[in-house]
Amino acid sequence: MDVLDFAKTVPNVYIDLSAAFSTLAVRMAVTELPERCLYGSAAPYGEPLLSRQLIEIVSPSNEVSNKILSENILKLIGDKNTKKQKINFYPLFP
């Protein structure tokens, strides 16, 4: 995928997963660049719950899901509490 190749070569590029039109694209991004994927839902036109569920289903682990659902954006915006406060998203599908 061109987007993944581009993101791999440019260190300050992040992938907004709400723009993906297939589960395969999300799975590839989550697997290859989990530290650069950001949760998004395209609300009000997209469905936030379905976007979250897709990330949880295609992620190889809960750690990767947490990274995409919260940790990556906190790191990107420079939240000083990121290291002190860990946000855990509990899987909808245990």
What is the pLDDT, as a whole number, of residue 89? 53
Residue with tokens 């990330």: 55
What is the pLDDT, as a whole number, of residue 81? 60
Dist CA 69 CA 30 (whole Å): 11
Q: Is the residue at 88 inside a domain?
A: no
**What tokens were used for 23?**
């589960």
Q: Is the residue at 56 inside a domain?
A: yes
Q: Is the residue at 14 inside a domain?
A: yes
- 3-class secondary structure, 40: coil
Element housing 16 (H / E) = strand 15-16
Q: Is the residue at 34 inside a domain?
A: yes
- Per run of 10 residues, the mean pLDDT along the chain (length 94 residues) is 86 88 92 95 89 94 94 84 53 50
- Provide the residue range defining the domain that includes 22: 2-77
Looking at the structure of the chain, the number of domains it has is 1
What is the pLDDT, as a whole number, of residue 94? 45
Q: Is the residue at 73 inside a domain?
A: yes
Q: Is the residue at 30 inside a domain?
A: yes
